[in-house]
A and B are shown apart, each in its own frame.
Chain A
Amino acid sequence: MRVGPALFATFAACTACGGSLPSDGAGSGTPAAIASVRLFDGNRGSDLSVHTGLPDDQSILIEARLYAPDGHRLTDIVGGVAMDLQFNPAAVATSLPVPGRPLQRLVTPTAPAGASGTQTVVLTFPGTTDAKTFGPYHVQVQSGSHTSGEMRLFDSFNAELTQHIPLITGDTIRIEVRLYDSTGARRTNIPGGAEISIHFAPDSLAIALPIAGLPFWRAVTATSLLGSEGSLFVSVLFLADSTTKTYGPTQVLVH
């Protein structure tokens, strides 16, 4: 048998053979083996480590997952482990333990939508005075289901800004208000028409000026210092019945 084809056949048979992935298995370890912590939505499973959005009208379950330095997940810590969350500022949210689930906390926002801060994971180990902290992880209170997507904000690049509007000192951005019905379809033809107005809290945060020919757009410019934070509210006057509906707050941060 010729060596070349045999080698090639062997190689082909082994193609994509390799070592196991850290995600393929989970294991146990000592408290010292915990090198990193990632946060997940305990119900939906989505990763919240980069950004934890807290709906302002409900509590969410946050789960900490523990990892060894090599990336393997640690599901069993020798001697046990418990988790707490500390918020900064403390007024952003509170958390309660979940019976029987030491690595989960039920988190309830205590600040209005638009507030943001950080959270730190504190791990404690029963029977010892040892503790480990991980963080900070970004957290932000967001408008919950009561606005349910009736109003959404976009910039001129079509990027959605409904939850958060980053304003750059000295820059003006254009923001469009879009309205949606209960099915999620965009309302482009409102009987009788509608007029929008935008205001900020505090008032000194920014200004929103009309743009000729674009009634649902505003030119928004920061009028406060770098690092200022506040909220934006949108009021929509429906001309057919003269009713007004206000949406918000949307968090505004001046960068």
Chain B
Amino acid sequence: MALATTPVLAQHEGHEPGVVFPPFGSGTSWLPASAPMPGFHFQASDWRVMVHGSVFLQYIQEFGQRGNYQLGSLNWVMGDAARPLAGGVFRARLMTSAEYYTVTRAGYPQLLQVSQPYKGGTVTDRMHPHELFSEVAVMYDRRLSDAWRWSVYLAAVGEPALGPVAYLHRPSAINDPIAPLSHHAQDVTHESFGVATLGVFTRTVHLEASVFNGAHPDEVRTNFDYAGARFNSFSARLTVNPTDRWSIAGSAAYIDPREHQPLHRLGFSALHVAGSWSTSFVWGANVPTDTRRVLNSALLETNVDLDSRNALFGRAEYVIRTADELALVGSVSEDVPVGSLALGYARRVGRFRGVGAWLGARGDVDFVPEDLRLFYGSRTLAGFMVYLHLRPTSIKS
């Protein structure tokens, strides 16, 4: 195996040597070209390999009568290997997470998060763990003309062309492992069991369409959920990176989750990276096909790396929750608007062989309408998290 230093931008992508395209975020989504992507890069024969990940050891405390606490670990590791093949570039990708074991099958406490099936019943106010295999995919892209390339992405588990870069991979959320409350209206499909995507792209424009299995993964996160699976959902996304600092995407989808009414999902996102300051704005909406009610969500999150040792981050959200999502049908209004504001600070306390250790703290306040006071004890709900975070600190060859 030969180790080689690779130019910074070229390490973000897997195209032909010397051809620099915006870096992939999650699935086939694009980040701004200037987005930092710390990780380990090396060359093994014809393969260019990149490994990166993030491991949090955290304590979460949510207050109030539906509050809870947990000591756990949110984590993921991802490997991406690319090599020339038949005039193009072939790449394989694997992403895994041990959260099923480290935050339990029920997930971690998060007030107002979408309820989920759990051992024959329903668990509320918790965010589910990620799949043991969150992405198992191959991709191939090849030159179409001087400016254009085409690509195909096939995933046993992966992300269709829908929504923004999943929150796990956004530079603006690098220090914040908590899922957005708007996750289920924006990027929840990043773990779909069965995805096929075709795309064409230039250096600045990416147009793609997917067919995928719209069923939600079940609560057992260690298996492949193919029972009754079929390509019953469709999506398309247009991404434009007008400069190295911006990535702007719009997407639309028809999703048939099977266990409830099919829905349309619309999304828009603008990701901006300026040096060590990353910001994302995301709008997403679910529109059930029977009611055609537009269930909006909006998110603004930012991360400022002050001096490579200290970072500030925050997130603000507005989400329309349904009574069904809160498991409160018949007791509250059909649609319930909620808001959330989170702020945090992280400080690097050590570094060893390219892996940094960060200590961080995050506080959050959620805002709920009068309808929910009975259930949450207040209209303002508070919580905090403290953590130790291990992740690559820089591009390491």
Contact A37 B125, beta carbon cutoff 8 Å: no
Contact B374 A69, beta carbon cutoff 8 Å: yes
Chain B nearest Cβ from A40, distance in angstroms: 10
Nearest-CB residue, chain A, relative to B118? A23
Asked whether any CB of chain A lies closer than 8 Å to the CB of B219, the reply is no
**Candidates B65, B103, B120; contact of A70 at CB < 8 Å:** B65
* Interfacial chain B residues near A27, Cβ < 8 Å: none
Given contacts A50-B260, A168-B292, A255-B292, are A37 and B330 in contact (CB under 8 A)?
yes
**Candidates A35, A39, A137; contact of B375 at CB < 8 Å:** A35
Restricting to B56-70, which residues have a CB under 8 Å from any CB of A?
57, 65-66, 68-70
**Cα of A221 to Cα of B291 in the assembled complex, Å:** 18
Asked whether any CB of chain A lies closer than 8 Å to the CB of B46, the reply is no
Contact B330 A23, beta carbon cutoff 8 Å: no
Given contacts A18-B109, A37-B331, A157-B256, are A45 and B57 in contact (CB under 8 A)?
no
Fill in one digit per residue for B296-332: 1 if any A CB lies within 8 Å of its CB, else 0: 0000000000000000000000000000100111110
Chain A nearest Cβ from B139, distance in angstroms: 26
B103, B109, B262: residue with the most chain A Cβ atoms closer than 10 Å? B262
Asked whether any CB of chain B lies closer than 8 Å to the CB of A71, the reply is yes
Asked whether any CB of chain A lies closer than 8 Å to the CB of B394, the reply is no
* Interfacial chain A residues near B125, Cβ < 8 Å: 71
**Cα of A216 to Cα of B357 in the assembled complex, Å:** 63
Restricting to A121-171, which residues have a CB under 8 Å from any CB of B?
121, 134-137, 157-159, 164, 166, 168
Asked whether any CB of chain B lies closer than 8 Å to the CB of A95, the reply is no
Given contacts A49-B329, A49-B330, A166-B290, are A21 and B123 in contact (CB under 8 A)?
yes
**Cα of A15 to Cα of B99 in the assembled complex, Å:** 10
Asked whether any CB of chain B lies closer than 8 Å to the CB of A14, the reply is yes
Contact A19 B70, beta carbon cutoff 8 Å: yes
Bin the interface of chain A by size. Answer: 35 or more
Restricting to B221-263, which residues have a CB under 8 Å from any CB of A?
230, 232, 234, 254, 256, 260, 262
Nearest-CB residue, chain A, relative to B262? A159
Bin the interface of chain B by size. Answer: 35 or more
**Cα of A15 to Cα of B123 in the assembled complex, Å:** 20
Contact B290 A15, beta carbon cutoff 8 Å: no
Interface of A is mostly: mixed
**Candidates A16, A22, A35, A159; contact of B256 at CB < 8 Å:** A159
Chain A nearest Cβ from B318, distance in angstroms: 24
* Interfacial chain A residues near B256, Cβ < 8 Å: 157-159
* Interfacial chain A residues near B329, Cβ < 8 Å: 38, 49-50, 137
Asked whether any CB of chain B lies closer than 8 Å to the CB of A11, the reply is yes
Given contacts A47-B122, A69-B377, A159-B232, are A16 and B104 in contact (CB under 8 A)?
yes
Asked whether any CB of chain A lies closer than 8 Å to the CB of B73, the reply is yes
Contact B69 A19, beta carbon cutoff 8 Å: yes
**Cα of A69 to Cα of B371 in the assembled complex, Å:** 12
Given contacts A18-B109, A23-B122, A47-B122, are A36 and B290 in contact (CB under 8 A)?
no
Fill in one digit per residue for B83-123: 1 if any A CB lies within 8 Å of its CB, else 0: 00000000000000000011110101100000000111111
* Interfacial chain A residues near B104, Cβ < 8 Å: 16, 18
* Interfacial chain B residues near A19, Cβ < 8 Å: 68-70, 109
Asked whether any CB of chain B lies closer than 8 Å to the CB of A1, the reply is no
Asked whether any CB of chain A lies closer than 8 Å to the CB of B144, the reply is no
**Cα of A127 to Cα of B72 in the assembled complex, Å:** 48
Nearest-CB residue, chain A, relative to B120? A45
Nearest-CB residue, chain A, relative to B254? A157
Asked whether any CB of chain B lies closer than 8 Å to the CB of A214, the reply is no
Nearest-CB residue, chain A, relative to B69? A19
**Cα of A69 to Cα of B127 in the assembled complex, Å:** 20
Asked whether any CB of chain A lies closer than 8 Å to the CB of B71, the reply is yes
Asked whether any CB of chain B lies closer than 8 Å to the CB of A6, the reply is no
Contact B102 A16, beta carbon cutoff 8 Å: yes
Chain B nearest Cβ from A63, distance in angstroms: 13
Nearest-CB residue, chain B, relative to A120? B330
Contact B66 A35, beta carbon cutoff 8 Å: no
Chain B nearest Cβ from A68, distance in angstroms: 9
Chain B nearest Cβ from A135, distance in angstroms: 5
| CB-CB nearest 8 A-B residue pairs | A18-B70, A36-B331, A70-B65, A19-B68, A49-B329, A134-B330, A135-B330, A14-B71
18 examples of A-B residue contacts, CB within 8 angstroms: A17-B71, A18-B70, A18-B71, A18-B104, A18-B108, A19-B69, A21-B126, A22-B66, A37-B331, A38-B329, A49-B330, A69-B374, A70-B66, A134-B330, A137-B330, A158-B256, A255-B290, A255-B292
